[in-house]
Structure 1
Amino acid sequence: MFSYNFLRKFSHDLYETQKEYGHVTAVVPAFHENGPTCSVWGDAATIVPWNLYLYYGDVNILKEQFESMRQWVDYIKDIDESTGGRRFWDVGFHFGDWLALDGEGDDSFKGATEDGYIATAYYYNSANIVAKAAKILGKDEEASYYSTLAGEIKAALQAEYFTANGRLALTTQTAYAVALYMDFAPEGSKERIAGFLKEKLKVNKGYLKTGFVGTYILNKVLSDYGNNELAYKLLLNEECPSWLYAVNMGATTIWERWNSILPDGRISGTEMNSLNHYSYGSVVEWMYRNMAGLHVEEEHPGFTHVTVAPQPDYRITACDMKYRSVAGTYEISWKVEKSGEFHLKVAVPFGAGAKIVLPHTGKEPLEVSAGVHEYSYVPEVPIIKIYSSKSPFSELLESETAMTVVENFIPGWQAVPVGMRDMTVEMLNDTPFVNLTPEQLEAFNTHLKNC
């Protein structure tokens, strides 16, 4: 299917019903009267045309949909003005972080992240998109208006949810991810917020609790802010909730819920339980964008010029990607040898260009034109995990080969409290849970080198 034509028609239908009913409807196309939709879902009015422009490079989609995009933001602003003009959207019904796992009660449909926070974040995001679209279309007055509005919403979000030192008042995985992804966290606080998100995941043993809002951005935010290993862990987790849990249960489609099918093979008794519901499949974008490394650039819509910046991890030693863009087919493949050497091959289509960022080197990005480009080198920072007594104990437990060494040298390892497993073995050796002699510690390290 040619996605552009399908989504262009969808956007057209959305605007037609928007014109008829005065709002973005809950169902598109609307064949009968139905009420207005809410944040996130309604933001399809801005996000879909903008992404079509980025990925296909056709400015006509912005020309066709600009009024729809603008009217969606104006609709939210009217609600905002009617409730005090605080630059918030915190009234009415919102799905919020739908089907997240951190809500109250086992059968909760909503996650713990405040609806008003999510709705206002998307209000900001859509205002920002309209401002950028207006600038591209030469609508300078509208560009200035919506840029100013976006700035006011951003300031309101910062005043309400962030302390002077940059701590976010909401402490859910989704709240942290949204602040980083939509870029409204105060300057100087982003690394701290990324650290909070990392700790939040660690407390949950490296498993997500996000729903429809948080999941599609979680891996991207982790990789973009220095926590690439955690992003890979989320991808490769096999217990529920995870993508591989569903695969191991025989799934051939994406489920609406993480636990749509129980471990014993029974359909869970929860409502809202489709076995063919794309939302969580959005992790594939992260695989193309971060794992393989293909980044579309706003300055060069339609893939006429891209950034190639793979982010490999020791748990996956090879990756092959092919993407048929409107500018031609891009191919990226990389491999990590047991020796630690890294191989990268990038094919850039005729007439296009790319900036290639070689992972784990201190080199400046390489500007290349069409053709096939190959690189082989030993990274300055090893991609292959090298285990030792200085490794966090939790990392050793995640590796089958390292785990064998742990069981041989520390047979009572289960006694190490979960809260202490981020400590190194050397640190744990000063506790009652590990008691290795200097000779045993040396032998322990020798065996780990062979893992």
Structure 2
Amino acid sequence: MGAARGVRRHPPAGGDVAGDGRLARLRREHCCRHRHPDRAALRPEPETHERYLWDTGFHWGEWLVPGEDPTDFPAFMAADKADVATAYLAWSAHHASRIAAVLGRTEDAARYADLGCAATEAWRAEFLDPDGQVRPATQANVVRALTFGLVPAELRSAAADQLAKLVRENGTRLATGFLATRDLLPALADHGHLDVAYDLLLQDAAPSWLNMIAKGATTVWERWEGVDDDGVPHESLNHYSKGAVIGFLHRYVAGLQRTTATWRTFRVHPRPGGGVTWARAGHDAPHGRIDVSWRLDGDELRLDLTVPPGCVATVVLPSGEVAAGPGTHRWVEPAG
């Protein structure tokens, strides 16, 4: 029964349920079976957008956020995680619409598009303030809002500033779990806070990626502090979720970004920061090996790129964009 397991499962037995207020009670109980009890208590009469809020049934939510150890598992199961589930409902419906369109299923594409829009509007009605502040005000929730397109364009800067503030107020430490960690650094970098993204990447105090390494990790842990300060291990020590940070290293530090499915076209846009002065990455694409490396040498940026046969790269340099065809290329120019 998920989060609503404590709600009565049956209407009052016998008698005329329409009498002495019992019909109203029955309506409330019926409503609660399809709404989280906390929301039903706050708003006995559901608002229109709640039809598209996903706030019942169990799921893991933003699992293993630092400092949120679910020692009371029944309470964790019962908690309202509609901010997470509704965001994924919107995201999944929009992607289902795109898949249906590719398959030529136009009716399904339209139906899923409508569902995605309705879920997005429901999320905004419930979790977004008019000034662009996201509720609940957690790093994970804001990351998801920015990444999934839940925040309107005119409010994205305010939401990004909220995210950067949450990170700084947390001692420039992350506070994301299984779901949002992958998108945390890109969300910051894409919205004018590249410096904060690099500060998190290079943070060596717990919780952080480098703190795992400092404690001897050779795999990625399920918990941010999978080995505590006393050397005691907790849960899985080989659980890849947080290793998704490698995407930031590839796409933002090295700057290698796919723009078509088979890498026939791709983008090279290094984003130096955090005192990092060089990076190198390669990818074995279907058409051949792609290699990119860059180095800051004083005030100069040196960028080397190998483009495989039949491919074209768009290279973003301080002076602007250039197209690069198959072969080996080098650019040297002021770092800007």
TM-score where L is the length of structure 1: 0.61
233, 240, 248: which one pairs with 1:267?
Answer: 233
Indicate conservation of the 8 Å contact 2:199/2:274, yes or no.
Answer: no
Number of the residue aligned with 1:375:
331
The one-letter amino acid of 1:188's match is E
CA deviation map 1:305-331 (0-9, x unaligned): 112111111421110101112232211
1:340 deviation in Å? 2.1
Q: Quick one: distance in 1 between partners of 2:58 and 2:325?
A: 50
Counterparts of 2:108 and 2:321, CA distance in 1 = 36
3-state secondary structure, aligned to 1:320: strand
Which residue, 303, 306, 311 being the options, matches 1:352?
Answer: 311
CA contact (8 A) 2:300 2:334 kept: yes
Offset at 1:233? 1.6
- CA distance in 1 between partners of 2:303 and 2:102 (Å): 35
Say if 2:238 is the partner of 1:280. Answer: no
SS at match of 1:154: helix
Matches within 5 A, 1:153-172: 153-172=119-138
Secondary structure at the counterpart of residue 357 of structure 1: strand
Any idea what SS the aligned residue of 2:175 has?
coil
Structure 1 counterpart of 2:181: 215
In structure 1, what is the Cα distance between the partners aligned to 2:60 and 2:322?
44
Say if 2:292 is the partner of 1:340.
Answer: no
Task: Summarize the alignment of residues 130-149 of structure 1 with structure 2, pairs less than 5 Å apart.
Answer: 130-149=96-115
Deviates more, 1:145-154 or 1:278-287: 145-154
> Structure 2 CA distance, aligned partners of 1:94 and 1:186?
27
Instruction: Write the deviation string for residues 344-390 of structure 1: whole angstroms up to 9, x where unpaired.
Output: 112111111121112xx3x442222222222111122xxxxxxxxxx
User: Cα offset for 1:181?
Assistant: 0.7
Counterparts of 1:96 and 1:144, CA distance in 2: 28
Q: Any idea what SS the aligned residue of 1:212 has?
A: coil
- Letter matched to residue 95 of structure 1: W
Q: Which residue does 1:97 correspond to in 2?
A: 62
Q: 1:292 aligns with which of 254, 260, 265?
A: 254
**Number of paired residues?**
290
State percent identity of aligned pairs: 32
Q: Alignment partner of 1:213: what SS?
A: coil
* Letter of the structure 2 residue corresponding to residue 327 of structure 1: H
Secondary structure of the corresponding residue to residue 375 of structure 1:
strand
For the 8 Å contact 1:98–1:213, the answer to whether it is kept is yes
* Deviation (angstroms), 1:259: 1.0
1:229 match: secondary structure: helix
Question: 1:409-424 maps to which residues of 2 (within 5 A)?
Answer: none
Match of 1:309 among 269, 288, 294: 269
In structure 2, distance between residues paired with 1:325 and 1:149? 36
Structure with the larger strand share: 2
Distance 2:155 2:72 in 1: 32
Contact 2:131 2:158 in 1 (8 A): no
Match of 1:61 in 2: none
Q: Report the equivalent of 1:238.
A: 204
Check whether the contact 2:135–2:141 (CA below 8 A) recurs between aligned residues.
no
Q: Deviations over 1:143-187 (max 9, x none)?
A: 222112111111111111112222222210001100011111022
Equivalent position of 1:12 in the other structure: none
Q: Which runs of 4+ in 1 moved over 3 A?
A: 82-85, 105-111
Write the distance in 1 (CA, Å) between the matches of 2:114 and 2:313: 33
Q: AA paired with 2:278?
A: A
Match of 1:69 in 2: none
- Separation (CA, whole Å) in 2 of partners of 1:156 and 1:290: 32
The code of the aligned residue for 2:170 comes to N
Q: Does 1:117 align with 2:77?
A: no
Cross-structure match for 1:398:
none
> Is the 2:296–2:335 Cα contact (8 Å) retained in structure 1?
no
Residue 198 of structure 1, CA deviation: 0.5
TM-score, normalization by structure 2: 0.80
User: Which residue number corresponds to residue 321 of structure 2?
Assistant: 365
Name stretches of at least 5 consecutive residues in structure 1 with no aligned partner. 1-34, 37-81, 381-451
Aligned Cα root-mean-square deviation (Å): 2.4
**CA–CA separation in structure 2 for the residues paired with 1:357 and 1:214:** 28
